[in-house]
Amino acid sequence: MTEKSNTTGVLLLNLGGPDSLEAVRPFLYNLFSDRLIIKLGPEFLQRPIAASIALSRAPKTRAMYQQIGGASPITRLTLEQANALQTSLGGNFRVYVGMRYWHPFIEAAVAQAYADGIQHFIALSLYPHYSLATTGSAFAELQNVLKTYPLPCTYIRSWSQNRLYIDALVKSIVEAIGDDNHADCHILMSAHGLPVYFIENGDPYLDELNKTIDLIKEMLPGPTYHLSFQSRSGPVKWLTPSTEEKILQLSAEGVRRLIVVAISFVSDHIETLYEIDILYSHLAKKHGIILKRTRALNTEPLFIEALTDIINGYYK
């Protein structure tokens, strides 16, 4: 460990994604090994079952990644977000990136911060809406890592109602609407799916999603808003409707133009670039709908301003 620093560390936490086609199988193994996402039988069988699932799903998942360039852009984009946030925050902070299921792992980020002499962390999950399956899992892993690197840490659990974040979403929607009449627009908020049992056990994910959408409606009245859930897998009961089901329903109701907002994602990755841009776009077109996705927040200046506001709010 180097000399102690007065600089505050900021750790951006995210899912991570395979950085090559070869990384798909081990990434899936890491994902399905996490019992906070899904319990695969008794605990001692979690990893063997995860290995089996990763082996069986890897070919199909690789084919998906091949269609978006052969890798997930999430690590590159999160590092770009970290660099932009570093510039915005200034010299009193040092921003690190830790991924839950692929490199750079949370442990590597904490080890680097410890070596840099960081004395205190602010952990900011890049999931705007808290769920045990996302932010909760990342925080659990961070807490485990901090047993080896004993740094005090402030955890930012959720920021689903941050006004600058809402502003950034509204801006992206307005840009997508363009010159169309707002009253004629249908906006589909497509959120990441979650098994119903999480909500039944008190998980606030759905409630926080609805609060975000309500704030968007306040700022941008006129369009008709809908909520659906994507990226569902596994034989459990999931939040409904699925995005596929909602597109078919809207088509049957006569909707012909649809703007999709990837409401629970703050950067492009397979859920936006493959699921929405390819899979759902083709489905919509087949059923007479022109689908347009709002651009991801990525390094949108207003979004970086939101992250800066969130950090400064906790730092003060």
DSSP conformation class of 116: T
Give the pLDDT score at 182: 87
pLDDT at 3: 57
Q: Is the pLDDT of residue 57 over 80?
A: yes
Two tokens at 233? 């897998």
Alpha-carbon span 210 to 199, nearest angstrom: 13
* pLDDT (tens digit per residue) in 189-213: 999 999 999 999 999 999 999 999 9
- Bridge partners (DSSP) of residue 78 are none
The reply, when asked if residue 182 is annotated as ligand binding, is no
Global pTM exceeds 0.75: yes
In the chain, count of helices (H) and strands (E)?
Answer: 12, 8
Tokens, residue 169? 């979403």
Encoded tokens for 183: 């009253």
SS3 content of the chain, % helix, strand, coil (to 5): 50, 15, 35
The pLDDT score that the predictor gives to residue 74 is 98
The answer to whether 3 is annotated as binding is no
Output the pLDDT for position 183. Answer: 84
Q: How far apart are CA 28 and CA 10, in angstroms?
A: 27
In the chain, where does DSSP find H-type helix? 24-32, 46-66, 74-89, 106-115, 137-145, 163-177, 196-200, 205-219, 243-252, 270, 281-286, 301-315
Residue range 163-293, CATH number: 3.40.50.1400
Chain-wide mean pLDDT for the chain? Answer: 95
Interval 244-260: pLDDT, tens: 999 999 999 999 999 99
Residue with tokens 């949108």: 300
Provide CATH 3.40.50.1400 ranges for the chain.
163-293
For the segment 86-126, what is each residue's pLDDT rounded down to a tens digit?
Answer: 999 998 999 999 999 999 999 999 999 999 999 999 999 99
Which residues, in sequence order, are CB contacts of 202 under 8 Å at separation 6+?
Answer: none
pLDDT digits (tens, 9 = 90+) for 287-306: 999 999 999 999 999 999 99
- pLDDT, residue 316, reads 58
Q: Calculate the alpha carbon distances from 81 to 12, 73, 169, 179, 181 in Å.
A: 9, 12, 16, 30, 33
How many residues are there in the chain? 316
pLDDT of 315 higher than 80:
no
CA dihedral 47→52→56→60, nearest 10 degrees, is 10
Helix (H/G/I), strand (E/B), else coil: 188: strand
Looking at residue 93, the DSSP 8-state letter turns out to be E
Can you tell me the distance from the alpha carbon of 210 to that of 69, in angstroms, rounded to the nearest whole number? 33
Structure letter (DSSP) for residue 11:
E
pLDDT reading at 34 higher than 80:
yes
Instruction: Report residue 1's pLDDT band, with 50, 70 and 90 as the boundaries.
Output: low
Calpha distance 224→218 (Å, rounded): 12
Comparing CA positions, the residue from 203, 232, 269 lying closest to residue 18 is 269
